Homo-oligomer: A and B are copies of this chain.
Amino acid sequence: MIEEHIKQIIQKLGADKVLLGAGVKERYEHIWEMDKPLRAKAVVFPLTTQDVSDILTICHEYHQPIAVHGGLTNLTGSTETNADELVICMEKMNVIEEFDLSSRTITLQSGVILEAIHQEVEKENLLFPMSFGAQGSAQIGGVIATNAGGLRVFRYGMTRNLVLGLEVVLADGTIISSMKKIIKDNSGYDLKQLFIGSEGTLGVITKAVLRLHQKPKSRNSAFVAMNDFENVVAFLKFIDEGLAGTLSGYELLWERNYKAMTDPSTNISKPLSYGYKYYVLIESLGSDYEKDQQRLESLLEEALTSELILDAALAQSMQHIELFWRIREDVDILVSQCNNVQNFDISLPVSEIGTYVDTVFKTLNETSEVDNFFAHGHVADGNIHFLISKDNNTIELTDKINTIIYKPLTALGGSVSAEHGIGTHKKPYLKLCRSKEEIQLMQLLKTTMDSRGILNRNKVLNYEN
């Protein structure tokens, strides 16, 4: 027995765009949990913005809750569904509509995969700087909906800074099209800002105009070591000034990480010896490899002489650079050393990071159910990731570890999520970093813009009936 509104959607879009029953179960809900069949009333595959508008008009009329599925690389449960929800799957809206070399913009539907954007723009020596592990699956709509961060935020900003135009369908089917290819626009409220990072709860992103940068001609990297967190901060300022606009990465690893990543079993040789508390990987993206290398070398020498850093290794080849970055990026090596992993992406003021992580490490050491833990981060952005290995996956232990990590952030002015968002997993902790008044205003916006609560219900905020 097909419900009336599902029939209407089939009629509008065509039966080939709607999966029901067994077809639904064959799709997986989450690439991180591939073992579970998808729970949903139906899965719908729009081709156009008008399709999305038609779907939402009907769902709004019938109070049908929906979830949007992009590349399903979300880490906070934002794409989870229950059997009463309808899934709008964006994978067929994957058209690059315009690549404008003069304006250095690309205009596309929201189902285009991040890596496909990289490939397209690199042909013309341009760069879309948003880059992270899941870029082979993540769709740009999800990247925007979660305001993704990644590795080069310090230089190029979060996704928010790279979106010039956006087209969104509201809960009632209204199309809000703000698709300008311009960097500066103060004509009324900048509506796109509302949707970027709101995790699909205020509208469904259907198209975007992205800002592109010139692709840097050269890349240089170095590892440095220090024992005092004050010097991590001081060296950041020193190298940022010295590299004058070309600094693109300043990634911190605590010794635990550095050792785990360069353990003989990993086949990654260590650029610097063990025994320091902090290891920092720096990257510059410039225009002249030789000159940039000379500049970096002389800055490192200066910092060694003044004891701002205690040791340094300059990558001498592209192979070196890739090896250096594996030490930071190949998180699978850390995961393989863990039992049940719990992930974090907190942020806090840079000055507070040293003491905060020392305290967290101490508490984790004293927690018997925790058998291993790692920390690394985009320290120039104040963003630290923890990987915590624990001996079971009970809700109680998960909560206990969440509390260890999140609770101190309130007093420090930190955030429970720098990058991944709130979804469902971090919802109970939102109040640790946002005030009652802030959450009330979020609720007001949600209720105003989606009066029937059909968009990603119960994600980020509780559904208020």
- Let me know if A257 is at the binding interface, CB within 8 A: no
Which residues in B have their C-beta under 8 angstroms from that of A215? 241
Query: In the complex the two chains form, what is the Cα distance from A433 to B165 in whole Å?
Result: 13
Chain A at the B interface: SS class: loop
Query: In the complex the two chains form, what is the Cα distance from A426 to B419 in whole Å?
Result: 37
Task: Give how many copies assemble into the complex.
Answer: 2
Closest-by-CB residue of B relative to A105 is B349
Partner of A188, one of B245, B418, B442: B442
Query: In the complex the two chains form, what is the Cα distance from A216 to B242 in whole Å?
Result: 9
Partner of A182, one of B125, B413, B422, B426: B413
Known: A100-B351, A240-B214, A351-B102. Is A186-B420 also a contact (CB below 8 A)? Answer: yes
- The reply to whether B382 and A191 contact each other, CB–CB distance below 8 Å, is no
- The reply to whether A189 and B194 contact each other, CB–CB distance below 8 Å, is yes
Q: Which residues of A from 208 to 222 have beta carbons under 8 Å from B?
A: 214-218
- Let me know if A438 is at the binding interface, CB within 8 A: yes
Query: In the complex the two chains form, what is the Cα distance from A414 to B184 in whole Å?
Result: 10
- Let me know if A177 is at the binding interface, CB within 8 A: yes
Which residues in B have their C-beta under 8 angstroms from that of A157? 157, 161
Q: Which residues of A from 380 to 432 have beta carbons under 8 Å from B?
A: 380-383, 413-422, 426, 430
- The reply to whether B186 and A286 contact each other, CB–CB distance below 8 Å, is no
- The reply to whether B198 and A189 contact each other, CB–CB distance below 8 Å, is yes
Minimum Cβ distance to chain B for residue A355 (Å): 12
The interface bits of chain A over 204-248 (1 if a CB of B lies within 8 angstroms of the residue's CB, else 0) are 000000000011111000000000000001000100111111100
Q: Which residues of A from 246 to 277 have beta carbons under 8 Å from B?
A: 246
- Let me know if A457 is at the binding interface, CB within 8 A: no
- Let me know if A146 is at the binding interface, CB within 8 A: yes
Which residues in B have their C-beta under 8 angstroms from that of A286? 244-245
Partner of A184, one of B237, B245, B419: B419
Minimum Cβ distance to chain B for residue A343 (Å): 14
Query: In the complex the two chains form, what is the Cα distance from A237 to B214 in whole Å?
Result: 7
Most chain B CB within a 10 A radius of its CB, from A105, A188, A381: A188
Which residues in B have their C-beta under 8 angstroms from that of A351? 100, 102-103
Which residues in B have their C-beta under 8 angstroms from that of A364? none
- The reply to whether B242 and A287 contact each other, CB–CB distance below 8 Å, is yes
- Let me know if A327 is at the binding interface, CB within 8 A: no
- The reply to whether A438 and B188 contact each other, CB–CB distance below 8 Å, is yes
Most chain B CB within a 10 A radius of its CB, from A215, A351, A416: A351
Query: In the complex the two chains form, what is the Cα distance from A193 to B181 in whole Å?
Result: 20
Which residues in B have their C-beta under 8 angstroms from that of A216? 241, 244-245
Query: In the complex the two chains form, what is the Cα distance from A191 to B434 in whole Å?
Result: 11
- The reply to whether A180 and B242 contact each other, CB–CB distance below 8 Å, is no
Known: A100-B351, A181-B349, A418-B182. Is A439-B188 also a contact (CB below 8 A)? Answer: yes
Query: In the complex the two chains form, what is the Cα distance from A416 to B104 in whole Å?
Result: 21
User: Could you list some 7 contacts between A and B, CB below 8 A?
Assistant: A153-B184, A170-B441, A177-B435, A185-B347, A186-B197, A186-B421, A187-B430
